[in-house]
Every structure is written in structure tokens, then in C-alpha cells.
């Protein structure tokens, strides 16, 4: 909680700024609409958080989201009765992609940056091949309700977001989260304490894949079927996590802050939109944020000065 | 040549040094001792220009100086050799010595001049076991230390600060260090020597300055102080006998090895009994740490028998009730950015046992963590307190066998005594303990039995209280 405070403060300021520009935002419907829009990214950020805190990256989530949506449309093809089996299949695919990412990273010792970059290309290539560039088929109404509909006034996506958030926070407080954090901090010390570090990391990748599947289900209903639906989401998720103060390289930061980072990013996009700044600028904004956030983390020194490499060069 | 007066320094309002005076004359070896947190490293960093003092003055040869940057100190002839060397392993000795200030001729690096100058300095130090063209990665730790010293001399350093220079050295390599320091003294170079090992202080130093809680307690010529007095000055109390009394006798066999071996070890026969502390001696590279890791399951035995069973992984070792307090606690023992509590619970969480979770506070008190604050990140703790957290981590699972690899390396005198007491206490409670140490007084003072390793085999076993000579004879393989 303490670690999430700075980003929560930033978030409140941005939300206030949105409310000033657009008073509708203060009404329940306006605010819920914002939450609904933010839900997929927040869920992806929670999944990405597990991977980052264990000391790895997952660049494959964006194209995984696209693949999931395209697959869903093609398999369901408007058939209501196919809704639930396909949803189950999407979740299995998400977990499976995470499993492959995790196993290749830990057992074959390929850096996760490369593994998941490769997975990104493999998935986008496969989607392109399968669809020939234009996705076919259509989602069922029962599928789209998760991204569009709601339980009374509360959108399904907000409820799902709450469940995912609670589960993520609970996981990080459980033994799994604590040992995952220790693994990201010092893998060798964790292994020598009996932690199954490979298994913990594989599980983290699977959680990220699962998050991508859930995000895809929400986005399919919300944004519709296209071959670009997940484009760039991996970077948005990483930017959100870093914005939440989670340290790349692992071992530090809270999942609550990572999710708050995703809300903040979404609020920023909303604000830019309100002031009529082109949506094309979103990538630029993310680029600036990710560099600035990591740089800010790097220059913040602990009060105890620890000699780094280089100091001794200068001194000797 | 160096004179510091009334040096004070605070970090974020926490006073680390106050009113410290230090005088170092040319050709003197000046030891600085004190418990961890006494302010030694801060003082050293002020000497070397890493930190600027808040108050006080520094003079070199009677001229006041103020260092804004380590380079300023370097230009005034002050060099520092950190515990961890700053050498590039893939480069040659000469390239490392002249790193960043290579002599240039017609726009190109003048290798010949660089190598010649390095060779000359090596020669002056009486070092002939390696040359300027050898890549650093092929050198031993002791030889790398020589390279660091040559580097210091090549900038005409007149004062060299050495931070725990012997910590990484094996016993026989320390002699080489002694010889080097002798040569430096002959050249009129002043040495400020920081060490936890009092024997070295007595062997090497001309004078010793004692720091305690950020203030200078005293500066005395080494001949005017005894080892016990020095300890008392450092900790402000009498440590008395230094080691806890031995226990009455050993109990049942907890673990036994018959002709056990792997790629580093051969024909190991060893029994660890409840209530007993078995010391493991040996030179660096004799297989001491490998023995502990093999028993623990981290680098398992591949041959021979081990009862009750031979662990093939860390988890199997832990399941058998074996714990390992590793040699390098920062790299292998602790997740430094996690809290004391999370580190103490790491083993319990990893193996999923419910034991010990509620008792963390009691456990931290039992290991004498001071203060027992659970939420602090362990990287902010002193070496001694960090080691106590590692101990607590293993105690959560109530191990049957606890292996210690250099349990008090880099730990201050007060914490050292606490850890020794605790080890004996655990043994008395019925734990079987194995302790690896390269500090002979520690081995002799603590062990009920000492097993000496040489080249991956057991060279011999000595009963409680052997002489240092007896251990060294077995370790080095000389005929008794």
C-alpha cells in the first residue's frame, strides 16, 4: 500500500483534471465508463507485473490478445452455443502460451526478452497467415456482453477487473508471491533456500498469458474484431507497470501500484483525448513515460551510499 | 602526510561521524578498526573524496585540501583498494593498470611503454608469478590484489587505503599481502588498513585507530595495546573468553558419509552428531564449500553413501532437515531488497511448511537481531545483523543439521560473539553443526573436532583444541 501512494496521488490529480474538463466524468455512469475502458489494460498490467517482478519480461501479450480475439471470432462465428467452450479454449491458449514462454526462458536459458519477442512475431505471423489480413467470423452476443454489457449499471468488465485485482493482491501476499518476489530479487539465494525458482517464473508467465486471455475477452466485446486489437498493448502494459514504480529487473514494487499505473496511463490518454490531442501521440507519450520512469528509479539513491563499479576506478 | 581534524558527517540527519581526528605519516601502516557501523567506511570514503565531510578539515603535507571528487584525491596521491576489485577480467594486467590513462604515442596506445612500466612496478614489489601481458581472469585473487596495488603505485599514490584486503584471500595468500605491505612501507607509502582480523592488525600495523559509534576512541601504537584491550575499546565491553564453552558430549549420529564424492570431492567419510560442532578446515580450493553444498544437495554427491539419504536437490536437502548458511550472504543468502520478515520466512514459504510463521518475532529475538524490526529491508542492516537474519531463516524449519560456511566473515566483533554463542546454543539443543572457517582461531575456539580437507579429500581429523600449526600442516600437506 505504501509503495502505491505516489502513483495513486498522480492518478487522483489526473482524474481531477479530467473531471474539470468533462463534468460528466463525475457521474457514476461517466466514471464506470472510464473503468470499463481501462479494465483490459489494468488486467494486462497485473499479469505483466508478475513476470516483471520475477525479473523477466513478457512482450508477447499484445499479439496474444489479437490472436485470441481473431480465434474467438472465427470459431464462434455468431453461434451462441459456442460461447462458453470458446472462452474456455481462449483461457487454455493463454495459459499455454505463458507455459511455453516460461519453459523456454527457464529451462533453455533464453532471455525472456528474446523468447517473448519471438512469441510476439510467431503469433502475429500466425494470425496474419490464418486470416489473410482480414479476420473472418463474428463474436456471439453472449461473448460480447463481457466487454459491453453489465449487471445492472455496473459493467461486467469492472466486476471482472475487481475479481482479477483482488486475486492478484491475494496471490502476492501468499507464499507464491513472496517467493516470486524473492526470486526476482536474488534468484540464487531463493534457490538455495529451497524455492523452485523455475516453476515460480513459469507460473508468472502463465498468469500473464491468462491475463491476456481475459483482456482479449473484454476487448473483443468492447472494441470489436480486428487484426490490430492488441497492437502495442505489451508496451502499454510494461509502461503501466513501470509507471507504478515496479523496478525492471525484478524484486521490487507492488501489484496494486502496477494496476494504478495502468489506470494512470488510461487517464492520461483520456485527458489527451479531451484536449483534442491526437491519439497517434499515445505511443510517443508511452515512450517518454517509460524512459522517464526508469531513469527516475535509477537516479533515486538509497541514503546509504553503496559504491558502484566505477567509483573505485575513479578513486584508485 | 595526511592529517584530518574534527571530521563530521551526517546522512539525512543521521550522524555517522563526529569529531574524528586521524593522522597518517609516510611509510606508516595505520590500522582502523571498529565494529560494523562504527563509521570506518564513511571515514575512508571521505579520505578518498567519495564523500565530502560536513565539518572538519583535511590537510596533506600541511596544505589544506578539499576533495569534491575521487579524482581530486587521486591527484593528491591517495588511492583506495576496495574489497571487491575493479578489474576487467578480459584485459591484460598492463591494460588494467593504465585503464583510462593509457600512454599515447602518435595517437595510438603505447603498449610497450605501458607494459614496461607495469613490469617495473611488479619487479619492485618482488612479484614474478605473472607478467604485464597476462589476462586478469587467469590470475588468482591474491594476484589480482597485486594488480590493484600496482595500479595505485602507477599513479604515484603515497597513501593507499585497503578495505578488508585479506577477506578474499586464503590463509597462505595473506603472507603475500604481508610482504607487499612491507615493500610499500619501504617505499615510504602510507597504508590505511581496515580489517576485522585483529591478528593482521597486530602483525602489520604501526598504529591503530579505534572507532566506535562514529567517534574516535583512541589512537595508539600497536605495541601499547593487547588484543583483549583492543576488543574492549571497540565494543566498549569485555568479551571475556571470546568463545562459548564446549558442550559435554555428542549424541546420536544425524548424518554420515561413506566414500562420498563428486567432481570436486573424493572419498569423504564423515559423521555429524547431535550436539556437536564439527569444524572444517582447508585452504581455498580444497573443497570446503563444495562439501557443504554437496551435503545440502545444491551440488550433490554423485558417488558413495550418505545416510539417512543422499539429497539430489536443495529441496531434498531441506526436506531432510539440512540447512546451509552460505559463505556469501549477499549473493547466496538473502534477497536484499526484501524485508527482514520476508527473508526470515523464505525457507518456510518455499517448502510450504506452516512451522515458524507466527514465531518470527521470537526467532528474531532469539538470534539477537538488534533492533528486531521486521519490516526493514535487509540491505540496510549491518553484516552481523544480516547473518542473524540468515540464521533465523533456517531456524524456522528447526533443522536437524545446520551447515555454516564462514559464519562470521565480514561481521563485527560483537555480532561475531553473538553468532558463536548461538551456534553453541543450537548444538546444545541437539542440532548437528558443521562449520567451515578460514579463521583458525575461530575454528579452534568453536570446534569439538576439526576435519581438514586438502584437494577434495580429508587430509586428517584433529580433536578439540589443536594448534594452528597442526591444522596448517594437514591443510598444506607438509609432512608432520
Contact A302 B379 (CB under 8 A): yes
Could you check whether the bond before residue B41 is cis, i.e. omega within 30 degrees of 0? no
pLDDT of residue B354: 61
Place of cell 594448534: B467
User: How high is the mean pLDDT of chain A?
Assistant: 88
**Which pLDDT score, from 0 to 100, does residue A183 have?**
95
Task: Report cis status (omega within 30 of 0) of the bond before B371.
Answer: yes
Does residue B167 belong to the interface with chain A, where contact is any CB pair within 8 Å? Answer: no
Would the pLDDT of A64 be above 90?
Answer: yes
Q: Quote the cell numbers at residue B248.
A: 559435554
How far apart are the C-alpha atoms of A204 and B372, rounded to whole Å? 32
Percent of chain A scoring above 70 in pLDDT: 93
Confidence of residue A316 (pLDDT cuts 50, 70, 90): very low
pLDDT of residue A75: 92
Which residues, in sequence order, are CB contacts of A253 under 8 Å at separation 6+?
A3, A49, A52, A53, A241, A244, A245, A246, A247
Kindly state the average pLDDT of the residues A9-34: 90
Name the CA radius of gyration of chain B, rounded. 24
- Cβ atoms of A242 and A290 within 8 Å: the answer is yes
Q: Rounded to whole angstroms, what are the CA distances from A122 to A59, A117, A119, A217, B120?
A: 12, 9, 5, 21, 59
Largest CA distance in chain B: 76
Q: Please give the pLDDT value at position A298.
A: 56
Phi, psi of B236 (to 5 degrees): 70, 20
Total number of domains constituting chain A: 1
Distance, in Å, from the CA atom of A42 to the CA atom of A6, rounded to the nearest integer, reads 17
In this structure, is residue A315 part of a structural domain?
no
Return d(Cα A126, Cα A188) in angstroms, integer: 37
C-beta separation of A313 from B77 below 8 A: no
Does some domain include residue A86? yes
Instruction: Return d(Cα B45, Cα A307) in angstroms, integer.
Output: 9
Please give, rounded to a whole number of angstroms, the shortest distance from the CA of B470 to a CA of chain A: 34
Question: pTM value?
Answer: 0.75
Domain contains A289? no
How high is the mean pLDDT in each 10-residue block of chain B (480 residues)? 89 78 92 79 87 89 86 87 83 89 84 90 84 88 86 88 80 81 89 83 91 87 85 64 73 91 91 93 85 94 90 92 92 92 91 72 84 83 88 91 90 84 91 90 90 90 83 68
Query: For residue B377, what are the β-bridge partners?
Result: B339
- Residue B239: its pLDDT value, please? 45
User: Which pLDDT belongs to residue A215?
Assistant: 96
DSSP-based three-state secondary structure for B371: coil
In a domain, residue A220? The reply is yes
Q: Do A188 and B338 touch (CB under 8 A)?
A: no
How far from chain centre, in Å, is Cα A148? 20
Does A24 fall in a domain? no
Where does the pLDDT of residue A42 fall: very low under 50, low under 70, confident under 90, or very high at 90 and above?
very high
Q: Are A37 and A266 in contact (CB under 8 A)?
A: yes
Residue B100 C-alpha cell reads as 583510462
Q: Is residue A302 part of a domain?
A: no
Q: What is the pLDDT of residue A5?
A: 80
Show residues of chain A in contact with B332, CB under 8 Å.
188-189, 192
Q: Select from A179, A303, A316 the Cβ nearest to the Cβ of B80.
A: A316
Domain span at A95 = 40-254
Instruction: Give residue B236's pLDDT.
Output: 64
Between CA B89 and CA B95 the distance in angstroms is 10
Give a yes or no: residue A13 inside a domain: no
Cell, residue B408: 562470521
**pLDDT tens, A157-216?**
999 999 999 999 999 999 999 999 999 999 999 999 999 999 999 999 999 999 999 999
Task: Inform me whether the C-beta atom of residue B295 falls under 8 Å from chain A C-beta atoms.
Answer: no
Do the bridges between strand B401-405 and strand B322-325 make them parallel or antiparallel, or are there none, so unpaired? Answer: parallel
Distance CA B244, CA B241 (A): 7
Average pLDDT over residues A258-268: 93
Give pLDDT, residue A173.
92
How far A101 CA sits from the closest chain B CA (Å)? Answer: 23
**Residue A248 domain flag:** yes
Write down the pLDDT at residue B362: 85
Instruction: Tell me whether residues B333 and A302 touch, CB distance under 8 A.
Output: no
Taking contacts as CB-CB distances below 8 angstroms, the residues of chain B near A178 are 342, 345-346, 349
Confidence of residue A297 (pLDDT cuts 50, 70, 90): low
d(C-alpha B184, C-alpha B160), whole Å = 9
pLDDT at B36: 63
Position A119 pLDDT exceeds 90: yes
CB pairs under 8 A between A and B: 113
* Greater model confidence, A87 or A304: A87
Residue among B98, B333, B349 with most chain A CBs within 10 A, to mutate: B349
CB interface of B with A, residues 342-361, below 8 Å: 342-343, 345-347, 349-352
Tell me the C-alpha to C-alpha distance, in Å, between residue A108 and each of A15, A100, A112, A114, A204: 45, 11, 10, 12, 17
ipTM of this model?
A: 0.84
- Model confidence at A50, pLDDT cuts 50, 70, 90, reads very high
A200-215 pLDDT per residue, tens: 999 999 999 999 999 9
Amino acid at each position: 500500500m505504501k509503495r502505491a501512494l505516489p502513483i495513486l496521488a498522480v492518478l487522483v490529480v489526473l482524474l481531477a483534471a479530467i473531471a474539470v474538463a468533462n463534468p460528466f466524468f463525475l457521474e457514476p455512469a461517466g466514471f464506470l465508463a472510464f473503468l470499463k475502458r481501462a479494465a483490459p489494460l489494468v488486467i494486462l498490467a497485473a499479469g505483466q507485473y508478475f513476470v516483471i517482478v520475477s525479473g523477466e519480461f513478457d512482450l508477447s501479450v499484445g499479439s496474444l490478445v489479437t490472436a485470441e480475439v481473431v480465434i474467438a471470432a472465427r470459431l464462434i462465428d455468431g453461434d451462441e452455443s459456442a460461447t462458453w467452450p470458446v472462452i474456455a479454449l481462449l483461457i487454455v491458449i493463454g495459459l499455454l502460451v505463458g507455459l511455453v514462454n516460461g519453459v523456454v526462458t527457464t529451462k533453455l536459458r533464453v532471455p525472456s526478452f528474446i523468447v517473448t519477442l519471438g512469441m510476439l512475431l510467431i503469433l502475429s505471423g500466425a494470425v496474419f497467415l490464418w486470416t489473410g489480413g482480414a479476420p473472418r467470423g463474428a463474436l456471439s452476443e453472449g461473448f460480447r456482453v463481457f466487454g459491453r454489457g453489465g449487471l445492472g449499471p455496473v459493467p461486467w468488465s469492472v466486476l471482472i477487473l475487481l475479481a482479477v485485482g483482488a486475486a492478484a493482491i491475494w496471490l502476492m501476499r501468499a507464499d507464491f508471491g513472496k517467493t516470486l518476489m524473492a526470486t526476482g530479487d536474488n534468484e540464487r539465494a531463493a534457490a538455495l533456500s529451497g524455492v523452485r525458482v523455475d516453476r515460480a517464473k513459469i507460473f508468472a508467465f502463465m498468469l500473464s498469458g491468462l491475463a491476456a486471455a481475459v483482456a482479449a475477452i473484454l476487448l473483443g466485446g468492447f472494441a470489436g474484431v480486428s487484426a490490430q486489437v492488441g497492437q502495442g498493448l505489451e508496451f502499454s502494459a510494461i509502461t503501466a507497470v513501470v509507471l507504478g514504480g515496479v523496478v525492471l529487473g525484478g524484486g521490487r514494487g507492488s501489484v496494486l501500484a502496477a494496476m494504478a499505473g495502468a489506470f494512470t496511463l488510461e487517464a492520461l490518454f483520456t485527458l489527451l483525448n479531451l484536449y483534442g490531442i491526437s491519439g497517434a501521440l499515445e505511443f510517443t507519450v508511452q515512450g517518454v513515460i517509460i524512459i522517464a520512469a526508469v531513469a527516475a528509479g535509477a537516479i533515486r539513491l538509497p541514503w546509504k551510499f553503496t559504491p558502484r563499479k566505477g567509483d573505485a576506478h575513479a578513486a584508485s | 602526510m595526511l592529517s584530518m581534524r574534527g571530521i563530521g558527517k551526517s546522512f539525512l540527519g543521521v550522524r555517522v561521524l563526529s569529531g574524528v581526528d586521524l593522522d597518517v605519516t609516510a611509510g606508516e601502516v595505520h590500522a582502523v578498526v571498529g565494529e560494523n557501523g562504527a563509521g570506518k567506511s564513511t571515514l575512508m570514503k571521505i579520505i578518498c573524496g567519495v564523500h565530502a565531510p560536513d565539518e572538519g578539515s583535511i590537510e596533506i603535507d600541511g596544505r589544506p585540501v578539499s576533495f569534491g571528487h575521487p579524482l581530486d584525491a587521486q591527484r593528491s596521491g591517495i588511492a583506495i583498494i576496495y574489497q571487491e576489485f575493479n578489474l576487467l577480467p578480459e584485459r591484460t594486467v598492463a591494460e588494467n593498470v593504465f585503464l583510462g590513462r593509457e600512454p599515447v604515442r602518435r595517437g595510438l596506445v603505447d603498449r610497450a611503454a605501458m607494459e614496461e612500466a607495469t613490469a617495473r612496478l611488479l619487479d619492485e614489489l618482488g612479484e614474478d608469478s605473472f607478467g604485464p601481458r597476462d589476462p586478469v581472469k587467469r590470475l588468482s585473487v591474491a594476484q589480482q590484489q597485486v594488480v590493484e596495488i600496482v595500479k595505485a603505485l602507477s599513479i604515484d599514490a603515497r597513501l593507499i587505503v585497503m578495505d578488508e584486503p585479506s577477506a578474499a584471500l586464503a590463509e597462505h595468500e595473506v603472507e603475500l599481502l604481508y610482504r607487499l605491505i612491507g615493500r610499500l612501507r619501504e617505499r615510504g607509502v602510507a597504508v590505511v588498513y581496515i580489517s576485522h582480523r585483529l591478528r593482521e592488525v597486530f602483525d602489520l600495523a604501526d598504529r591503530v585507530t579505534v572507532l566506535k559509534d562514529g567517534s574516535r576512541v583512541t589512537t595508539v601504537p600497536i605495541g601499547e595495546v593487547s588484543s583483549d584491550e583492543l576488543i574492549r575499546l571497540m565494543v566498549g565491553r569485555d568479551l571475556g573468553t571470546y568463545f562459548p564453552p564446549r558442550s559435554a558430549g555428542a549424541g546420536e549420529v544425524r548424518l554420515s558419509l561413506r566414500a562420498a564424492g563428486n567432481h570436486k570431492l573424493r572419498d569423504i567419510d564423515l559423521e555429524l552428531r547431535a550436539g556437536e560442532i564439527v569444524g572444517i578446515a582447508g585452504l581455498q580450493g580444497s573443497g570446503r564449500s563444495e562439501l557443504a553444498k554437496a551435503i545440502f544437495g545444491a551440488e550433490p554427491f554423485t558417488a558413495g553413501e550418505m545416510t539417512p539419504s543422499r539429497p539430489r536437490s536443495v529441496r531434498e536437502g531441506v526436506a531432510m532437515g539440512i540447512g546451509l548458511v552460505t559463505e556469501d550472504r549477499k549473493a547466496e543468502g538473502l534477497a536484499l531488497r526484501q524485508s527482514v520478515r520476508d527473508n526470515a520466512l523464505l525457507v518456510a514459504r518455499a517448502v510450504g511448511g506452516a512451522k515458524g510463521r507466527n514465531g518470527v518475532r521470537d526467532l528474531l529475538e532469539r538470534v539477537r537481531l538488534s533492533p528486531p524490526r521486521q519490516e526493514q529491508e535487509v540491505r540496510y542492516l549491518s553484516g552481523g545483523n544480516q547473518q542473524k537474519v540468515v540464521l533465523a531463516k533456517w531456524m524456522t524449519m528447526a533443522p536437524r543439521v545446520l551447515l555454516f560456511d564462514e559464519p562470521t566473515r565480514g561481521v563485527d566483533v560483537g555480532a561475531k560473539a553473538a553468532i558463536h554463542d548461538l551456534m553453541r546454543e543450537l548444538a546444545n539443543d541437539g542440532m548437528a553443526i558443521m562449520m567451515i572457517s578460514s579463521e583458525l582461531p575461530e575454528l579452534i575456539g568453536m570446534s569439538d573436532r576439526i576435519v581438514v580437507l586438502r584437494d577434495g579429500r580429508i587430509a586428517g581429523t584433529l580433536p578439540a583444541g589443536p594448534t594452528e600449526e597442526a591444522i596448517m600442516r594437514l591443510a598444506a600437506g607438509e609432512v608432520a
